[in-house]
């Protein structure tokens, strides 16, 4: 029996607590974090799916528009709609966004978006677009992947709505 499982009570023995306590090691926290996300309200998942679908749908529709491919991690609108939702940050990394500091972004990128102020260590999520002129096939594959993910998220959003609409 693992040390973190509660002991079985013997007859006549009282239970001091029914709460399951896990050890607080770093490994346990890493393993337990995804499971704790399952306890989030259903509306939180729906909002995350809808927000991600809007973002990736916009990238697929206008891949040259940098506004959707550069996200300031501390942006309050991003935090409210997506950043605080369970699983969004790992999902963004999986679809191609990279966490970068201001100084590690391509030169002139932030100026072209009007984001000139901020500290050098400010964090951004950035999705690099392959160079269409130098590697057209890689660019087409990248765009098709984004379109497929956006389509999947749209379908997932419809299914999520159907499943939780009765919950309010």
This prediction has a pTM of 0.69
> How confident is the model over 30-74, as pLDDT tens digits?
555 554 555 566 667 778 888 899 999 999 999 988 888 998 888
Which helix (H) or strand (E) segment holds residue 118: the answer is none
Amino acid 148: pLDDT: 93
DSSP H/E element including 94: helix 88-95
Q: For residue 142, what are the contacts with CB-CB under 8 A and spacing of at least 6?
A: 96, 129, 130
pLDDT of residue 19: 47
* pLDDT tens digit sequence for 105-127: 888 888 788 888 878 888 999 99
Rounding to the nearest 10 degrees, give the CA dihedral for residues 153, 154, 160, 163.
Answer: -140
- What span, in angstroms and rounded, lies between the C-alpha atoms of 10 and 28? 29
């Amino acid at each position: 029996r693992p040390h973190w499982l509660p002991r079985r009570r013997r007859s006549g023995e009282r239970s001091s607590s029914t709460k399951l306590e896990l050890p607080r090691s770093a490994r346990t926290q890493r393993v337990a974090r995804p499971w704790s996300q399952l306890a989030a309200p259903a509306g939180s998942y729906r909002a995350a799916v809808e927000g991600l679908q809007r973002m990736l749908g916009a990238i697929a529709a206008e891949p040259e528009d940098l506004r959707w491919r550069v996200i300031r991690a501390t942006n309050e609108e991003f935090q409210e709609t997506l950043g605080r939702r369970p699983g969004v940050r790992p999902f963004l990394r999986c679809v191609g966004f990279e966490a970068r500091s201001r100084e590690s972004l391509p030169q002139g990128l932030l100026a072209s978006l009007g984001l000139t102020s901020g500290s050098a260590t400010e964090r951004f999520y950035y999705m690099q677009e392959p160079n269409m002129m130098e590697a057209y096939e890689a660019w087409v594959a990248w765009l098709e992947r984004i379109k497929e993910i956006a389509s999947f998220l749209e379908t997932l959003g419809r299914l999520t709505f159907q499943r939780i609409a009765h919950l309010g």
